[in-house]
Amino acid sequence: MIWWDDYMILLDEPNFKTRLSKLLRTSRIGKSIFLFNELDSTQDYAMTLPNSESLHGTIVIAKIQNMGKGRIGRTWISPEGGLWMSIIFRPNFSVDNIIFLQFIGALAVVNAIHEITKIDCKLKWPNDVLINEKKVCGILVDVNLENENKKIVMGIGLNANIDSSSINNFLNNGNLKATTLKEECGNDIDLLFLIKSILEKLEHYYDALLSRGKTLEIIDSWKEKSEMFGKKTIVYDGNEKFMGHVIDIAQNGALVMKLTDGSVKDIIYYSDVSIQT
Ligand code: BTN
């Protein structure tokens, strides 16, 4: 485990923004930082910021969210101690690439957690980060395509320095239980260095996504970190339910499943994915 005892900085330090800006080695992501003690949702706040070229890479962080949003209309419980952050992108790529934003968000988190704690997280398609089969982080990608200047907000909800008992009682996460970095490591994690690491890795993957052909590398990196392959899996898509085994991730980011009737199905639209143990 890497420790920065001398620099242990929590979100409420008055100079948090200045320290983060000084530490960050990125060219766009995190260059503009909004930090709040309390917000309903960093995701919603980010969406209301007026769209402009300079908004790309802006981040919004809140110590507490009162109405944190999860996928498919779920509530995201966001007490103090977690990392609740949204990052704004103004991408000039096709909407088909949006699924890859979920992949790179999750990959950035997995690599940053490994750098800071040496814990090996696993990925669940398309955007969950797991430790010992429990969810430690979820990624939410919201898209506004109303005008020709697309705005995409990536929300990262990372259970960092909190107790899972404060969230598990309220969870509505399919069959997944929650865990937290604090519980997995046995101590608090320095959020400043965690955020720095996530943002730097995110920029690296985002640049890879922008260069043509790198989506295959992103898929390969994602596959390396996932233990879904070969496992019995159920995918819910509205009223439909597909049962089978995961065999691959397709070039367009779809989950490729061999269904129990022997047919192969690419899943891109889904409401929930459940891996059976
Ligand atoms: C999921 O359902 O797995 C995604 C959860 C995403 C939660 C984050 S916390 C920061 C941002 N603000 C929100 O309201 N939601 C996202």
Among 109, 123, 140, which is best to mutate for testing ligand 1, by the most ligand atoms less than 8 A from CB? 140
Least confident of 87-91, 131-135, 149-153: 149-153
d(CA 129, CA 225): 10
Cα–Cα distances (Å) from 178 to 67, 136, 245, in that order, read 18, 6, 24
Helix %, strand %, coil % of the chain (to 5): 30, 30, 40
From the CA of 40, give the closest atom in ligand 1: 14
Q: Which residues contact 131 (CB under 8 A, 6 or more apart)?
A: 119, 121, 122, 179, 184
- Structure tokens given for 164: 């899972």
Whether 42 is in the pocket of ligand 1, judged by its Cβ within 6 Å, is yes
pLDDT at 251: 92
What is the radius of gyration, based on Cα positions, of the chain? 18
Q: Tell me: the pLDDT tens digits for 81-108?
A: 999 999 999 987 777 788 899 999 999 9
User: Has residue 111 got a pLDDT over 70?
Assistant: yes
In angstroms, what is the span from residue 83 Cα to ligand 1's centroid?
Answer: 10
Instruction: Check residues 5 and 212 and name the one with the higher pLDDT.
Output: 212
Q: 153 C-alpha to center of ligand 1: Å?
A: 10
Residue 9: per-residue pLDDT: 42
The per-residue pLDDT for 148 is 67
Residues 6+ apart with CB under 8 A from 18: none
Lowest mean pLDDT among 58-72, 104-118, 184-198, 203-217: 203-217
Q: Is the pLDDT of residue 6 over 50?
A: no
Query: Whole-model pTM above 0.85?
Result: yes
Query: Residue 27 pLDDT more than 80?
Result: yes
The atom of ligand 1 lying closest to the CA of 127 is 3
